[in-house]
Structure 1
Amino acid sequence: MSLKFVERQQLKEKPNIKEVAFGTTFTDYMVSADYNKDDGWHDFKIIPYEPLSLDPSTAVLHYAQTVFEGLKAYKVDGETVLFRPEENFKRLNRSLERLSMPKIDENQALESLIELLKIEKDWVPNGKGEALYIRPVVFATSKSINVLPSSEYKFLIILSPVGGLFSQDGLGTTKIYTEDKYVRAVRGGVGEAKFGGNYASSMLAQEYANEKGYSQVLWLDGVEQQYLEEVGAMNIFFVKNGELYTPKLNGSILPGVTRKSIIEFARDRGYTVHEDRIHIDDFKKGLEDGSVTEVFGAGTAAVVAPVSHLNIHGEELKVGDGEVGPVAKEIYDTLTGIQTKRVEDKFNWVKEVK
């Protein structure tokens, strides 16, 4: 793929990755493309990372037509690799369709990312748990406050080096607060899309949970508020009587790439995996009687985030012995091992940047 490349006059100094907070430092370049009804998606190019100039009437500022993705690049033996990037661009298109935004050519988007990574290869860190976070985003750019789908859009891919979320010794655990008042999404809404508004609407409950000493929110369904949906910005899994459970996709739950990978790996490994409608009271009972031995979130940033305690209806419950469980550790070690080519990739999930 031939992309126009606009070179910047001076490259940035590479940061000390140990001192970089997640999502605050960005590389020298980004991918940019534009859409209009006459030309479709066009003008794919790699340009210096720089501020954007937007008219005050720009549609995204008023009606929030914006979707994004999140994936990572890893450095393995000096080479850059990606983990299932095709799935991210498939999901990007599903999100675009739901927000009445024009789909993008998935191959062209992926190829533009690969060209960007070739240029930015020195930004990919190679320490344990470190990666280059990749953020594709599409947003409406028509200069109009008419309540209609925009006629113009911009596509960007920006890159941000990130350190490991856990200690060098392995996984850590987190405490979760079950939200009883607010909801993240409802069936028939936009919960299954990676839509910016889903995250904005979650922030008040997140602040409330943080004030109570919990790091994430366990979201219940938006209709009855009785069924498990997501935890923070992650999908949720738990182990009950040695079997793996996760809420089934219902239109309000984001179909995570990590979620899909865990289910495929676990079934291949011989685990029984249930995708069910899970009532909070049944889940609570399992924690109380000890049949639920592990709970963990799953997503791009952490891969696996084990839970040590849950607050449900004001009562704090310990998960198992409060430590990282064997199933979560096996999944984490295997997925991160595949991502960094330390474990055989029998699923062909890893894509090399060449």
Structure 2
Amino acid sequence: MENKSSRKSAAVETLDEGESPFGHQFGNKMLIMSYDSAKGWSSPHIKPYAPITISPSAQCLHYGQTVFEDMKAYIIKHSIHIFKPQEHLEKFNLSLKRIEMPEVEVESVLLGLNQLLNQEQQLFEENHNHSIYIRTFMYASESKLGVSKSDTYEFIAFLSPLTSNTKCHIPEPIKVYVEDNYVKSVPGGAGYTQYGGNYASTYAATSMATQLGYDQVLWLDGIKRSYIEDIGNMNVFFVINQQIITPELNGSIVPGVTRQSIIELARELGYQIEERKIGIEEISERYKEGSLTEIFCTDTLHSLTPVSEIKYKSDTLIINNHKTGPITQHLFKTYSFIQNKTLPDIRNWNYSIQREPTTI
């Protein structure tokens, strides 16, 4: 199989710097692995990026067995690396296990991603050396009806160029609306996973928040509607009296790789950080007394996103005069510098891609 496409990538044919929205352009190739309960996983192989054929009775279309995970790849001085892929794939397997889907072999996926990125090197070149988003997902492919897990599955990974560059440009602050009617998950459910239903179930509340002029929903726990869990699909952090506080993992909060990385990094930088339950009423009280000074979210795509406003019932909480706070700025800059290797990677968070492709 050729290592480089002879045509210009469809992902960047219409890509103007800073204009194209996320998730609308894709690379030329995709990585595929197939699973059969009697045979196990096939070897990874690369195919042209194209529509997939699926049966109308495929179980993923009826019973929800779909899971995804995302990562980012960077090119620095002609060297490609993925940020913390092992951790992302372990998190992927955590989701798969909960949804009764076969776990992937991490080393096999890394082998396939190495080949995929080697064959898609032109994405970096044509996209001004911006970072590349990696989407991996799995779906149940067996053609049968009846509520039971599938015997066959397909794993696919593909690439999408990002328009933000590798320099430190923190996202614009967002405004969030506290949702106290709908809930995202309950203990014992699958809220900590990245299966499709967790995302589809957020659309109604997100649409209502958008109509009110807010960017995201702040989700409360599914039992008492009082403890904070997520903002959108991002983990959330609060700075109160110069201490960083984030909701503890409880089985309904996604154990984000960026979340854990920021916790470790903040401690190394000398910040006090605490993982615990934190209620929306406590946040309201801390705001009124002036001790709540910053809020930010974490996820793979944006790293850190500041929060400038929270709407809770009749109260509007304006955070740091709608500006990004110094602790958020410090964490974002340091984290980004580790990702793009401006700072030494003493933690071995970056996984280097071998430039000599491995035959698949």
Task: Using structure 1 for the length normalisation, give the TM-score.
Answer: 0.94
Range with bigger deviation, 9-18 or 74-83: 9-18
Counterparts of 1:158 and 1:327, CA distance in 2:
34
Looking at structure 2, the residues matched to 38 and 25 of structure 1 have their Cα atoms a distance apart, in angstroms, of 36
Give the equivalent residue in structure 2 for 1:84. 84
Name the counterpart of 1:287: 287
| Deviation for aligned residue 1:5 | 7.1
- Indicate yes or no: 2:251 matched with 1:251: yes
Read off the aligned partner of 2:286 and give its amino acid letter: G
Percent identity of equivalent pairs: 36
For the aligned residue pairs, the C-alpha RMSD in angstroms reads: 2.1
Number of equivalences: 351
**Structure 1 residues not aligned, in runs of 5+:** none
**What amino acid sits opposite 2:229 in the alignment?**
E
Q: 1:221 & 1:129 partners in 2: Cα distance?
A: 41
Shift in Å, 1:168: 7.9
Structure 2 residue matching 1:70: 3-state secondary structure: strand
Q: Structure 1 residue 351: deviation in Å?
A: 1.5
> Are residues 1:26 and 2:23 paired?
no
CA distance in 2, matches of 1:9, 1:144: 40
2:239–2:245 Cα contact (<8 Å) kept: yes
The Cα shift of 1:78 comes to: 2.1
Three-state SS of the structure 2 residue aligned to 1:270 is: coil
1:318 corresponds to which residue? Answer: 318
Contact 2:3 2:119 in 1 (8 A): no
Asked if the contact 2:174–2:307 (Cα under 8 Å) also holds between the matched residues in 1, the reply is yes
Give the residue type in structure 1 aligned to 2:317.
Answer: L
Q: By how many angstroms is 1:80 displaced? A: 1.3
Q: Give the alignment's TM-score, normalised by structure 2.
A: 0.93
Distance 1:168 1:339, change over 3 A: closer
Unaligned runs of 5+ in 2: 355-360
Q: 1:154 to 1:5 in 2, by over 3 A?
A: farther
Q: Kindly tell me: are residues 6 and 57 of structure 1, through their superposed partners in 2, closer, same or farther at Cα, counting changes over 3 Å?
A: farther
Query: Structure 1 residue 49 and structure 2 residue 46: aligned?
Result: no
Contact persistence 2:219–2:231 (CA under 8 A): yes
Q: Secondary structure at the match of 1:124?
A: helix
Q: Which residue of 1 aligns with 2:263?
A: 263
Contact between 1:17 and 1:161, CA under 8 Å: does it hold in 2? no
Aligned equivalents of 2:323, 2:129: Cα separation in 1: 20
Deviation at 1:172, TM superposition (A): 1.8
Q: 1:129 to 1:266 in 2, by over 3 A?
A: farther
Q: Partner of 1:235 in structure 2? A: 235
- 1:125 to partner: Cα distance: 6.0
- Cα distance 1:175–1:266, how it changes in 2: closer, same or farther (>3 A)? same
SS state at 2:160 partner: strand
Deviation at 1:170, TM superposition (A): 4.3
Alignment of 1:111-122 (within 5 A): 111-122=111-122
Contact 2:9 2:122 in 1 (8 A): no
Secondary structure of the 2:345 match is: coil
Counterpart of 2:211 in structure 1 is 211
Corresponding position: 1:332 with 2:332: yes
Q: Which residue of 2 aligns with 1:187?
A: 187
The 8 Å contact of residues 210 and 216 in structure 1, kept in 2 or not, is answered as: yes
> 2:240, 2:36 → 1: CA distance?
51
1:12 aligns with 2:39: no
* 1:151 pairs with 2:151: yes
8 Å Cα contact 1:290-1:320 kept in structure 2: no
Distance 1:8 1:342 in 2: 31
After superposition, the Cα gap between the structure-2 partners of 1:256 and 1:126, relative to the gap in structure 1 and judged at 3 Å, is farther
| Shift in Å, 1:241 | 0.4
1:210 alignment partner AA: T
How far does residue 279 in structure 1 lie from its aligned partner after superposition?
1.0
